[in-house]
Amino acid sequence: MSFDVDKTVKAIKDMRIRGALDIAIASADTLYGVVNSEARDTNELLSMLRDAGEKLKSARPTAISLPNSVNYIIYVAERNKDLALDEFREKLSAEIKNFINEQKNAIDKIAEIGSRLVDDNDRILTHCQSDTVINLLRRVNEEGKEIDVICTETRPRYQGRISARLLAKYKIPVTLIVDSAAFLAMKELNVDKVIVGADTIYANGDLINKIGTSQIALFAKELDIDFIVASESIKFSPESVIGSKVVIEERPAREVIRSHIEGVEVFNPAFDITHAEYIDMIITEFGVIPPQAVYSIVREKFGWKLR
Ligand code: RI2
């Protein structure tokens, strides 16, 4: 079983599994595998789960959805540690399945709520690739509203191309631009709304998302364009209530330049912070909220963690 854990960790590190929700679900799924693997007793299984959880959490540092998912499952496991092995397995398997279903329902709920915010003939700009955003745009299209989307290519890993390909597959008109064309495109092509995903949202409403998000938010402010975030509450950070911040992942230089250039350093942060004052609204599975309302959802949803 540890092979499967290592396999998931590697796939997350190499970004073959990526996107904040997908890495959370993949981790939960992997822990489900651990719960149902060989062990002598509940104690041993609990310690296997803790070890697997630590490994999974170390795979990527910035998306809080990953530790949120692992920590929740370990919390449930610890609360049930007095159960006999079979009962423990049964209880935890059901809880993990529930948790995964909740995440899958959340993404659809966000699409349902968010689609009401998008008008016929809207031109939307999105950055990077967020399943949550793509699912929302797909829903808008299925409802018969005519929209078109501008995707930034999102260097250095070009996840914007994945977004563009998916939107084209769903028959949504889509235009790909280089990241540095964002301001011009937003202004000259009359973008109506920016909609992006999230990796982490702090209790004060600050957003951590793919590098380049914050400058798009600045442009949106300057041009008076709505800047909207689509995020499941699993991406809210309970630790931020006590002042803890996530580490902004720095990725290898080879993602930016193919081969080393003598005398040239490369700085390759994968995420940046967009402060709450640049965010008009956040679409969650509980409804549309201002960034200032994140705190109360964190207190309610992550009470188990904050106690
Ligand atoms: P979903 C991605 O990061 C992007 O920053 C995207 O906005 C975010 O995860 C959320 O993705 P990366 O994994 O959960 O490409 O909406 O580094 O799919």
Ligand 1: centre distance to CA 88 (Å): 33
Q: Please write the tens of the pLDDT for every residue from 78-91.
A: 999 999 999 999 99
Among candidate residues 265, 304, 297, 267, the one with its CA nearest the CA of residue 282: 297
Mean pLDDT of 255-272: 97
Nearest residue (by CA) to ligand 1, atom 2, is 19
Provide residues with CB under 6 Å of ligand 1: 18-22, 128, 130-132, 159, 196-199, 209-210, 270
Question: For the segment 20-51, what is each residue's pLDDT rounded down to a tens digit?
Answer: 999 999 999 999 999 999 999 999 999 999 99
Does residue 9 register a pLDDT over 80? yes
263: phi > 0 → left, psi -120 to 50 → alpha, else beta; which? left
- Catalytic residue, candidates 122, 151, 199, 280: 199
Q: Which atom of ligand 1 is nearest to the CA of 132?
A: 16
pLDDT at 1 over 80: no
Please tell me the pTM assigned to this model: 0.96
Q: Where in the chain is the domain with CATH 1.20.120.420?
A: 5-106
Ligand 1 atom nearest 196 alpha carbon: 7
Q: How far is the CA of 131 from the centre of ligand 1 (A)?
A: 8
Residue ranges of the chain that CATH labels 3.40.50.10470: 110-306
In the residue annotation, 192 being an active-site residue is answered as no
Fold of 5-106: Four Helix Bundle (Hemerythrin (Met), subunit A) (1.20.120)
- The total of other beta-carbon atoms located within 10 Å of residue 73's CB is 24
Separation between Cα atoms, residue 27 and residue 34, nearest integer Å: 11
Please, are residues 107 and 50 in contact by the beta-carbon 8 Å criterion? Answer: no
Identify the CA nearest to 231 among candidates 110, 62, 71, 60.
110
Band of pLDDT at residue 281, cut at 50, 70 and 90? very high
| Cβ neighbours, 10 Å, residue 184 | 11
Using only C-alpha atoms, the chain has a radius of gyration, in whole angstroms, of 20
CATH of 110-306, one of 3.40.50.10470, 3.30.300.180, 3.40.50.970, 3.40.50.300: 3.40.50.10470
- What is the percent of the chain where pLDDT is above 70? 99
Mean pLDDT for the chain overall: 97
- The mean pLDDT value for 164-174 works out to 98
Ligand 1: atom nearest CA of 210 is 5
C-alpha 41 – ligand 1 centre gap (Å): 38
Q: Give the pLDDT confidence score for residue 2 in this predicted structure.
A: 47
Tell me which residue has its CA closest to atom 15 in ligand 1.
Answer: 19
Known active-site residue 128:
yes
- Ligand 1 centroid – CA 49 distance (Å): 26
